[in-house]
Chains A and B, each alone.
Chain A
Amino acid sequence: MCMSVPRYWRERAYRYRLVGTECLSCGRRYYPPRRVCPVCHSRNLVEVKLPERGVVVTYTIIRSPPRGYEKYAPYAIAVVELLDGTKVLAQLTDIDLSEVEIGMEVEAVFRKIREDGEEGIIEYGVKFRPRLTGH
């Protein structure tokens, strides 16, 4: 089950590039992006490219997937704390499910998320994989 095309398209920058927002008053960062800082209530937030590296804070293996994700199941989902402390949630890819562990270093990659059947749109986004090299 895919979302409508305009809805997918509208958020593409945030989904494709891991762009969040930063509060210029208190310095907190948010992903997904926000217009109001819920901590200091400042409205002075700007878009910021988030780091593409981080560590797994916690994870699960999805074995009973929702509609649209059956093809990839079972797959790992992790909360990843990026190098700047921002937390995001994403699928892990290019990994044996038995290798996933809390504290492992991961990096963002651009991958297919869902497909609307064989005729519809292909939805892409960010996943994380074990860090490839020291780069």
Chain B
Amino acid sequence: MRTASDVGIVGYGAYIPMYRIKAKEIARIWNVVQVPIEEKSVVGLDEDSITMAVEAAKNALKRANIDPRDIGSVRLGTESKPYAVKPSATIVAEVLGITPNTLAADLEFACKAGTEGLQSSIALVASGMVRYALAIGVDTAQGRPKDALEYTAGCGAAAYILSTKSHETLAYIEGSHSYVTDTPDFWRREGRFYPMHTGRFTGEPAYFKHIINAAKGLMEELGLKATDFNYAVFHQPNVKFPLTAARRLGFNMDQVKPGLLCDRIGNTYAAAMLIGLANILDMAKPGERILAVSFGSGAGSDAFSIVVQDAIEARRDLAPKVADYLGRRKYLDYAKYLIHRGKIRMR
């Protein structure tokens, strides 16, 4: 998909909470030998998707260096809304000083909710409806104790501010492609606390089919091949899936590594690909091209081709980088982890 007028990223920011739990610490509790990742991020007691979204968006605003009141749309994509009914986006908009003359909504598409926000923000900007649009992907992902997801369900946020392409653009979005089918690989029923998944069915018919078709669709549309990209970042529910997808699409490790953070923060769901992309933007040079592909269960993928612009050099240091958050770590044992994730009933 291409837009009538060119759209780019004018601000981006990520947030990762400081707490971590080693996958081996979880494995110790359940007498499991092998673990899928090294460690994952865990929220503090006073954090939730809203507070994380605020910090990521604040970082994006610092880099964009714009008046928050010029933002006309806030899209917050998450599957861990603190309120089942009542928008989180309005709280974020209020904290950032974007209210009241703005659109604000929460989006849900499992782990693709963040890039759904990106897609609709692109459309809002390209149509001229709004000058700046803020898209946030955030999650405090819940994994059922002893389930495979418990090792990887992490916490984090990433925010992007979009506008029409100008000399202020940090990275230009040259095209996108979305690919969606009805594929029940993972879900959470209304009122239930933990999600369900379908084991190996989450692989080929779900993750790989959608990621690869979205990426291929985009590359065909733009006439690009894997070697035209300097970086590729994919949704990362674990380390293995994105590496396999990359290989099948013809990418090598050097292209994938900078955006692959799952081993260190786990799967941050709606934020996962977007934090990886932020990490790439923290280091990429002007002119470099990035393939970014999300995946949301249920299922679908959004693929983007992004070209880094000159303005990024002067802006990327205006806010904390992904590496700053990665370097800030405090480890929890499993008991503390249960408290942080509200799994011990206190009332």
Contact = CB atoms under 8 A, between A and B. Distances in A.
A133 interface: yes
Contacts of B94: 12-13, 16
Contact of B46 (A72, A118, A135): A72
B18 A94 contact: yes
A133 B282 CA distance: 15
Contacts of A124: 50-51, 91, 95
Contact of B51 (A12, A110, A117): A110
> Considering residues A13, A112, A117, which has the most beta carbons from chain B within 10 angstroms of its beta carbon?
A112
Contact of B95 (A16, A72, A91, A135): A16
Contacts of A71: 45, 346
Given A110-B95, A122-B83, A132-B328, A127 B320 contact: no
Contacts of B95: 16-17, 110, 124
A12 B346 CA distance: 28
B62 A122 contact: no
B14 to A, nearest CB: 12
Contact of A132 (B48, B318, B320): B320
A113 B46 contact: yes
B192 interface: no
Interface in B321-340: 321, 324-325, 328, 330
A106 B330 CA distance: 18
Contact of A111 (B18, B46, B317): B46
Interface residues of A, number: 24
Contacts of A109: 51, 55
Contacts of A58: none
Contact of B319 (A16, A72, A135): A135
Nearest to B57: A110
A93 B94 CA distance: 22
A76 B29 CA distance: 31
B55 A72 contact: no
B47 interface: yes
B97 interface: yes
A135 B54 contact: no
A72 B44 CA distance: 10
Nearest to A12: B94
Contacts of B320: 132-133, 135
> Considering residues B62, B318, B328, which has the most beta carbons from chain A within 10 angstroms of its beta carbon?
B328
Contacts of A17: 95, 97
A74 to B, nearest CB: 12
Contacts of A70: 346
Given A124-B91, A135-B318, A111 B47 contact: yes
A111 B141 CA distance: 18
B47 A112 contact: yes
B82 interface: yes
A34 to B, nearest CB: 21
> Considering residues A13, A91, A118, A124, which has the most beta carbons from chain B within 10 angstroms of its beta carbon?
A124
Contacts of B83: 122
Contact of A72 (B45, B91, B324): B45
B167 interface: no
B324 A110 contact: no
A135 B62 contact: yes
B189 interface: no
B200 interface: no
A132 B58 CA distance: 14
9 smallest beta-carbon distances between A and B, as pairs: A111-B46, A110-B54, A16-B95, A112-B46, A133-B324, A133-B320, A94-B18, A111-B51, A110-B51
Given A13-B94, A112-B46, A124-B51, 17 more contacts: A72-B45, A72-B46, A93-B46, A109-B51, A109-B55, A110-B54, A110-B55, A110-B95, A111-B47, A112-B51, A113-B46, A122-B48, A124-B50, A127-B46, A132-B325, A132-B328, A135-B319
Interface of B: 18, 44-48, 50-51, 54-55, 58, 62, 82-83, 91, 94-95, 97, 317-321, 324-325, 328, 330, 346-347
25 contacts: A12-B94, A71-B45, A72-B46, A91-B46, A93-B44, A94-B44, A96-B330, A110-B51, A110-B54, A110-B55, A110-B95, A111-B44, A111-B46, A111-B51, A112-B46, A118-B347, A122-B48, A122-B50, A122-B83, A124-B91, A132-B320, A132-B324, A132-B325, A135-B317, A135-B320
